[in-house]
Structure 1
Amino acid sequence: MNVLFFSAKVYDRTFFDAANSTFQHKLDYLEVPLNCNTAVLAKGYEAVCIFVNDRADAEVLQLLAEQGVKLIALRCAGFNNVNLEAAAALGMKAVRVPAYSPYSVAEHTLALILTLNRKTHRAYNRVKEGNFALNGLMGFDLHGKTVGLIGLGKIGLVTAKILKGFGCRVLGHDIEKRDEFDRVGIEFSDLASLYAQSDIISLHCPLTPKTHHLINRKTIAQMKTGVMLINTSRGALVDTKAVIAGLKSGHIKYLGIDVYEEEADLFFEDLSDRVIQDDVFMRLLSFNNVLITGHQAFFTSNALESIAAITLQNIADFEQGLQLENEVKA
């Protein structure tokens, strides 16, 4: 099947070309993102493969359909950037990678927590400069702390298991309770209780109309003073301006994010020779208790191998008229 990749990086080519030896699709790669200006480049392709910051709204999907595209293959779990109603109306299918390596994101979540707590990033820079003073580097024991996880899918559950290994009390919230939560040792909780009791809150839920700006001024006010907030899920779960206000007041003592609600113009690119125009993002960078990584939680060789294999299998299933196990619908 002829497939055009948008927002493709060198590592995408490496892992997809390797996985494609089994499938023998015709893969072509573009570094440009998918949007209303680039959709016409898909002329002659039956499928496009897109990533988290590609745009697949009604306008773009109409343009893709006019080029002959029949399948939108997401090489990620999230699908909030695709207008599924418009896709269905155009007779287009959409597939995704619902799970690749939950360990990659869960372990990165712990990396953010530990780095913020023990300030290893600041200590690293001090030691390189010959400064071995410990002032300002004091952390706390994770053992005995209460961590609230919002979203208990595969990633949330793996995160919970790791935290239990540290000796943490783990509260969890999801749309429904499952028996597995008890086996892991998660205390199922409503959001109000989770906010009030948690020393650390970590987000692991999808972005939907109901979860948009789940973290806002009202919910931050319900949290403990001095809370640590972690987001490795979707940027728009967090109202960034509200979080900045929480950081300034001291209500939020630590912030670790791998995603940002306006990341599309920033992440995955080298902007080191430019002046970043996003004033809200630059304000975040000004805090010494904020740690930001550029949407790299998924970025392990294990995850990329799995993403490539599942994506190409999704495309093969569509080509062969088989049931689409990983189809997403409106």
Structure 2
Amino acid sequence: MAGIAFFSARPYERTFFDRENSGHSLNYLDAPLDEKTARLAAGSSVVCAFVNDHLDRLTMQILKENGIGLIALRCAGFNNVDLKAAAELGLPVVRVPAYSPYAVAEHTLALLLTLCRKTHRAFNRVREGNFSLDGLMGFDIHGKTVGVLGTGKIGAIFSRIMLGMGCRVLAYDLRPDTALEQAGVLYVDIDRLFAESDIISLHTPLLPQTQHIINATTLAKMKKGVVILNTSRGALLDTKAVVRALKSEHIGGLAIDVYEQEEGLFFQDLSGRILQDDTIARLLTFPNVLVTAHQAFFTDTAMQQIAQTTLRNIDDWQAGKPLINLVPG
């Protein structure tokens, strides 16, 4: 069986991987993966990496020199991997393309409901004995126009949730989903989506053409008071442009589970330290901004599926079977 070096390993992950493991040697490492830590994988044949690990050419050269034959991502995204270098080094890269898309879609809804009804503020206020309603005015989601950017599995589920809540749903995707169209989703060009939506939710992968798709220019096309949700990838937002739009009150609300500079912040307890990232610190000062720390995927169902798919990818590689979740180089 394979020796697997898990980088950026967290205690909650170990529970699920230990439960699903069928004989592999699992070496859990707290350290993130980069060129400085890659040699810790020596003695293993597989590296298992997460969203904020660095898999650039130098890192993978070191992994290759230390006997690594497979990069197994325990996540869907692969923008942190130099795929060209991996192919040239003969290192196949596999991923977990889907794990409970309902988890992410439902968390997006939770963020929207919390933001629009201010339940987080009400919870803290009541615990202090303050039962006043001042400052807690919300808005109805029913009847709003919701723009969904990207209608893959997660975006499609979120679209159906919004339809069920009585919303008009506009969508933009290079590959329209006919089943969604039949359900009542209207596919439009991206400028129309920006112009007509009261709420915009991002469900597109991070690619060169989607990086900073929300920027000063596209924000100017949106309604004053627009609510923006991002549970996909942090760099879809130009965060500095978003901060300016929040200050001018052009954005009426922002809820994010991802952040373009989240490395070194998310998945850690920094409560006893001073935040060095001025942008996230500024975001946290806005009363109409809600931030969660990349937890949209974090349900027991999703974690079980991540562990099962990751280990099955490794089993297939070791057995010489076709890698159905191979990321093309």
- CA shift digits 1:242-271 (9 cap, x unpaired): 000000011101000000000011000001
Q: Distance in 1 between matches of 2:229 and 2:323?
A: 34
Q: Distance in 2 between matches of 1:67 and 1:211?
A: 35
Give, as a single letter, the amino acid of the residue that structure 2 aligns with 1:157.
A
1:262 equivalent to 2:261? Answer yes
> How far apart are residue 129 of structure 1 and its match?
1.0
1:5 equivalent to 2:41? Answer no
Give, as a single letter, the amino acid of the residue that structure 1 aligns with 2:24.
H
Q: Distance in 2 between matches of 1:138 and 1:51?
A: 39
- CA shift digits 1:165-195 (9 cap, x unpaired): 1111111111122312213321111110000
Contact 1:181–1:188 (CA<8 Å) still a contact in 2? Answer: no
Aligned counterpart, 1:318? 317
Aligned-pair identity (%): 59
Contact 2:151–2:177 (CA<8 Å) still a contact in 1? Answer: no
Q: Distance in 1 between matches of 2:258 and 2:58?
A: 26
Give, as a single letter, the amino acid of the residue that structure 1 aligns with 2:292.
T
What TM-score, normalized to structure 1?
A: 0.98
Aligned counterpart, 1:299? 298
1:246 equivalent to 2:283? Answer no
The more displaced of 104-113 and 171-180 is 171-180
Give, as a single letter, the amino acid of the residue that structure 2 aligns with 1:232.
T
Contact 2:47–2:70 (CA<8 Å) still a contact in 1? Answer: yes
3-state secondary structure, aligned to 1:121: helix
Q: How does 1:129-148 map to 2 (within 5 A)?
A: 129-148=128-147
- CA shift digits 1:304-324 (9 cap, x unpaired): 000000000000000001010
Aligned counterpart, 2:43? 44
1:175 equivalent to 2:157? Answer no
What TM-score, normalized to structure 2?
A: 0.99
> How far apart are residue 104 of structure 1 and its match?
0.4
> How far apart are residue 75 of structure 1 and its match?
0.4
Give, as a single letter, the amino acid of the residue that structure 2 aligns with 1:8.
A
Q: Distance in 2 between matches of 1:300 and 1:66?
A: 36
- CA shift digits 1:257-305 (9 cap, x unpaired): 0000000110000011111100111010110100000000000000000
Q: Which runs of 5+ in 2 are unaligned?
A: none
The more displaced of 113-122 and 133-142 is 133-142
Aligned counterpart, 2:61? 62
Q: Which runs of 5+ in 1 are unaligned?
A: none
Q: Distance in 1 between matches of 2:131 and 2:233?
A: 37
- CA shift digits 1:181-212 (9 cap, x unpaired): 21332111111000000000000010010000
Aligned counterpart, 1:200? 199
Q: Distance in 2 between matches of 1:318 and 1:175?
A: 32
User: CA RMSD, aligned part only?
Assistant: 0.7
Give, as a single letter, the amino acid of the residue that structure 1 aligns with 2:101.
P
- CA shift digits 1:4-59 (9 cap, x unpaired): 10000011100000011xx3211110011001110011112111001000000111
3-state secondary structure, aligned to 2:229: strand
Q: Distance in 2 between matches of 1:183 and 1:70?
A: 45
Q: Distance in 2 between matches of 1:152 and 1:179?
A: 11
Give, as a single letter, the amino acid of the residue that structure 2 aligns with 1:210.
Q
